[in-house]
Structure 1
Amino acid sequence: MNWHLEGFDLDRFVRETLAEDLGAGLPGGGRDVTSDSVIPAEARFSGVMDTRDAIRVAGLPIAAAFFRARDPAMTIDILVEEGAEAAPGTDLMRLEGNARAMLTAERSALNTVQHLSGIATMVAAYVRAMDNPACTLLDTRKTIPGLRHLEKYAVRMGGGANHRMGLWDAAMIKDNHVLVAGSVGEAVRRAVAAGVAEIICEVDRIDQIEPALAAGATRLLLDNMDAATLRRAVSVVDGRVPTEASGGINLDTIRAKAASGVDYVSVGRLTQSAPAADIGLDFIPLR
């Protein structure tokens, strides 16, 4: 399966993750001491990766890359499409190849699929709870360092969309920026003067909306507002820029907040707090 994620170096990720597990560069490191001492070098395994949970699948091509990094000749069949729903007991991947290679790559492969599928599964649950095709669920920058591209990929596999990828692709004016600039309007004006094309301005009061819009904000983030206040804010904005609800959003509150008329709802816990999916890998010796 061809798999490419813009801005993400898969080969480097696989190489560095395996090196961490193998202790490359450390005294006595650089090998899987258990497999090397217990498993004959020529031994072969077949294996099946399956899910014990109902999940939204994400990360199987990355798992395959871990196994191929240890045994380029390994036979790998990915059985479920990325972003698909999988019931408990569903086989996700079949493998056949060198036993040592499989055992060395197993944990890194499973960690990745469990984490990414956990995110995708939580995102899918939020999309269902929101129940509003007119409103888009967004992630945030609350990601594990080094895993942002993968975690935001998992959000897309779950049916959500990505907020800005980092500090570089949009201005996000928040309370501390306003504190230094002196006002919402002044903060936005400075971003406009700097030539920033996309300027998202956080407001937590209705009276901040007009100054932000007058100064040139291209999106408003309506922070920690209840559903009734969100409706008032959307009415004041009146379609002049997209609006985003953020803060205090969970599975119990998302439907009402999305129904307020906002264009987006952003939820930090999608990447920050998603539990790992229960996915396992069972091996059978071939010889």
Structure 2
Amino acid sequence: MVLGAERIGELPALLLEAAVRAALAEDLGLAGDLTSQATLPPDATAFAALSAREPGVIAGLKLASEAFRQIGHGVSFEPRVTDGAAVVAGDVVARISGNARQVLGAERTALNFLNHLSGIATLTRAFVDAVEGTGARICDTRKTIPGLRAFEKYAVRCGGGANHRYALDDAILIKDNHIAVAGGVAKAYAAARAFAGHLVAIEIEVTTLAELEEALGAGATIVLLDNMDNQMLRRAVALNRGRARLEASGGVTLQRVRAIAETGVDYISSSQITMGAKPLDLGLDVQIV
């Protein structure tokens, strides 16, 4: 399965450029790639294949391409698949050619982005496949590596998932600590409605059915059901009667996610898809010609 570009969306070029520039600077330091300088003639050419060594879903090709673009003039990066594509072991993801010192100087930066983001896309796809046919959507959270959030959320989209809020400033999510300080579910929700503009989404977190009833009575249209077991989730869906969109979160695993989806919730959010994803094994091999 390959998702359409219109569903995945694009990453801003300035964001790509800045992230790759910082990553290359971190790796090259002040003296550059000493190993390549010591062992390779300055005019040597390398032809390489970037290949999958295990099945997975690709994400981060533009970051990899940007790494080879920034390393120097004349390095060619030719992708053979697109972000969101499923690959199997042995599939060629991209072919790279150009000055050998430059190719090897950018190799690790390109692979670090690709391995990490493709791992997220792969795990997300597993969650999405697990709930297929239930109508529930798999969402990420704000639990991301600092500085990489936009890219990790992009990888979630590559895997077929949906993005929750990006940051504290693009939606209101009233959590248990806000409720405790505000004096209760209804008070917290009323305060948020009085504060928010008409384009700002408001979601409120509840942990019990009594809190859910209070939230619905206050007019909540999006409710996060936090750390409820499957039986309680089913009761929450029945109590809701379609009045609000319901999101299940907390304790979500790949093994349990299908059962959660079958309770009838609309969304399932999990930090596992960003924080628990194993990097996808992709490698770059120079070909002898």
Q: Deviation string for 1:24-65 (max 9, x for gaps)?
A: xxxxx2422221222121111000000111011111121011
Match in the other structure for 1:26: none
Q: Secondary structure at the match of 1:159?
A: coil
CA drift at 1:8: 6.2
**Residue 225 of structure 2 aligns with which residue?**
222
CA RMSD, Structure 1 to Structure 2 (Å): 1.7
**Residues 22-37 of structure 1 aligned to structure 2 (within 5 Å):** 22-23=28-29, 29-37=30-38
Give runs of aligned pairs for residues 67-86 of structure 1, distance below 5 A.
67-86=68-87
Q: Distance in 1 between matches of 2:281 and 2:100?
A: 23
Aligned to 2:65: 64
Amino acid of the residue matched to residue 166 of structure 1?
Answer: A
Number of the residue aligned with 1:247: 250
Partners of 2:261 and 2:278 in 1: CA distance: 24
Measure the CA separation in 2 of the matches of 1:135 and 1:177. Answer: 27
Provide the C-alpha distance between the structure 1 equivalents of 2:160 and 2:78, rounded to a whole number of angstroms.
24
User: Structure 2 matches for 1:117-196, cutoff 5 A?
Assistant: 117-196=118-197
Question: Within 1, Cα distance between the matches of 2:46 and 2:271?
Answer: 40
Structure-2 separation of matches of 1:83 and 1:140: 20
> What is the rounded CA distance, in whole Å, between the counterparts of 2:65 and 2:288 in structure 1?
19
Q: Which whole-Å deviations, capped at 9, do the CAs of 1:8-37 have from their partners, x for residues lacking one?
A: 6111111111011112xxxxx242222122
Contact 1:7–1:149 (Cα < 8 Å) also in 2? no
CA distance in 1, matches of 2:288, 2:33: 18
Judge conservation of contact 1:50–1:91 (CA < 8 Å) in 2: yes
- Name the stretch that deviates more: 241-250 or 65-74: 65-74
Equivalent residue letter for 2:283: G
Work out the CA distance in 2 between the residues paired with 1:19 and 1:260.
49
* TM-aligned CA distance change 1:201 to 1:7, over 3 Å: farther
Shift of 1:228: 1.5
* Aligned twin of 1:98: 99
Amino acid at match of 2:24: L
SS at match of 1:47: strand
| Aligned residues of 2:68 and 2:76 also touching (Cα < 8 A) | no
Which SS does the other structure have where 2:32 is aligned? coil
How far apart, in 1, do the equivalents of 2:183 and 2:10 lie?
44
> Which amino acid letter does the alignment assign opposite residue 143 of structure 2?
K
Q: In the alignment, is residue 231 of structure 1 matched against residue 237 of structure 2?
A: no
Contact in 2 for aligned 1:132/1:259 (Cα 8 Å): no
- C-alpha deviation, 1:211, in angstroms: 1.9
Q: 1:207 aligns with which of 197, 206, 210?
A: 210
Structure 2 contact 156–273 (Cα < 8 Å) conserved: yes
Shift of 1:191: 0.8
Inter-partner Cα distance in structure 2 for 1:284 and 1:172: 52
The amino acid that maps onto 1:283 is V
Q: 2:11 is matched with which residue: 5, 18, 22?
A: 5
Aligned to 2:260: 257
Instruction: Name stretches of at least 5 consecutive residues in structure 2 with no aligned partner.
Output: none
SS in 1 for 2:59: coil
8 Å CA contact retained: 2:81, 2:94:
yes
Q: Which moved more, 1:102-111 or 1:247-256?
A: 247-256
Instruction: Judge conservation of contact 2:52–2:93 (CA < 8 Å) in 1.
Output: yes
Partner of 2:50: 49
Which stretch shifts more, 138-147 or 191-200? 191-200
Question: For 1:277, which of 267, 280, 285 is the aligned residue?
Answer: 280
Distance 1:162 1:8 in 2: 21
Equivalent-residue separation in structure 2 for 1:12 and 1:43 (angstroms): 29
Aligned partner of residue 72 in structure 1, secondary structure? coil
Structure 1, unpaired ranges of 5+: 24-28
CA distance in 2 between counterparts of 1:216 and 1:207 reads 15
1:115 and 1:275 in contact (8 A); partners too: yes
Q: Secondary structure at the match of 2:78?
A: strand
Q: Which residue identity lines up with residue 19 of structure 1 in the other structure?
A: A
Q: CA deviation at 1:222?
A: 0.5
For the pair 1:198 / 2:204, whether they are aligned, the reply is no
